[in-house]
Amino acid sequence: MYEIRKARPEDAKAIAEVHVQSWKATYQELLDEQDISNTTIEHRQILWETVLKLPRKQQPVTVIEENGSIVGFISGGKERTDRFGYDGEIYAIYLLPTHQRKGLGKQLLTAFTEEMKELGYHSLLVWVLTKNPTHQFYLQLGAQRIEQEQTTIGQGTYQETAYGFNSLNGLLAALMTKERQ
């Protein structure tokens, strides 16, 4: 049984574990080994401890649990560049590899989008490594490709693409349609 809830400060280690496991599995074919191996649970735990102390309006984090264990999360907040006309942004969305392609990402995105709407946001941007096939998830929900640029991860430089949802209401409608399919 899955439960979606708002993250709490004591979730930092579990979120870090999901983050690192999913990140390494997702990017093992997309990044150089040295850039992947630098990511540790200890470093991510410090990051999530810091994030989870912030006011929720600043960076909401939502988790999905299976039998009391966190198997995925999503976080975001204000769009960080102010260049594209979107007010919200997904900073991270990760599921354990064993829990991917089961509709849980849609559930997380739905809960997050509803909360972003409650917080006063109207649109959403997300950056995805260009070679990451998960960008199809966003395109199937109606995202528009906005721009590509270079990003540094570890010692390497990689291309990423921004995808945008002009309307949170439109995104929620697309998510509801996908749920019924």
Distance CA(166)–CA(142), nearest Å, equals: 9
Residue 32 has pLDDT above 90, yes or no: no
Residue 34 has pLDDT above 80, yes or no: no
Residue 181 has pLDDT above 60, yes or no: no
Alpha helices, DSSP H, located in 9-103: 12-27, 33-37, 41-51
pTM: 0.92
List, for residues 102-139, the tens digit of each pLDDT value.
989 999 999 999 999 999 999 999 999 888 888 899 99
Distance CA(97)–CA(81), nearest Å, equals: 30
Q: Delineate the domains of the chain, giving CATH numbers in brackets.
A: 2-180 (3.40.630.30)
* pLDDT over 90, % of the chain: 69
